[in-house]
A = this chain, B = another copy of it.
Amino acid sequence: MDDLAVRTEPAADADAAALRSAGLKVTRGRLAALRLLQRMPHSDAETIHRHAVTDEPTLSVQSMHNVLTDLTRAGLLRRIEPERSAALYERRVGDNHHHVVCRACGKVADVDCVVGHAPCLAPSDAGGFAIDTAEVVFWGLCADCR
Residues of A within 8 A of B (CB): 79-81, 83-84, 100, 102, 109-112, 114-115, 119-122, 124-143, 146
Contact = CB atoms under 8 A, between A and B. Distances in A.
A134 to B, nearest CB: 5
A120 B115 contact: yes
Contact of A139 (B132, B138, B140, B142): B132
17 contacts: A79-B83, A81-B83, A100-B126, A100-B129, A100-B131, A109-B127, A111-B126, A115-B120, A120-B134, A121-B138, A126-B138, A128-B143, A133-B138, A133-B140, A134-B138, A135-B138, A135-B139
Given A120-B136, A135-B139, A137-B135, A129 B115 contact: no
Contact of A84 (B81, B111, B136): B81
A2 to B, nearest CB: 38
B136 A140 contact: no
Nearest to A140: B131
Given A132-B140, A133-B138, A135-B139, A100 B127 contact: yes
Given A81-B81, A83-B135, A129-B143, 19 more contacts: A81-B84, A100-B126, A100-B131, A110-B127, A111-B122, A114-B120, A114-B122, A114-B124, A115-B120, A128-B142, A128-B143, A129-B140, A131-B138, A131-B139, A132-B140, A133-B138, A134-B137, A134-B138, A135-B138
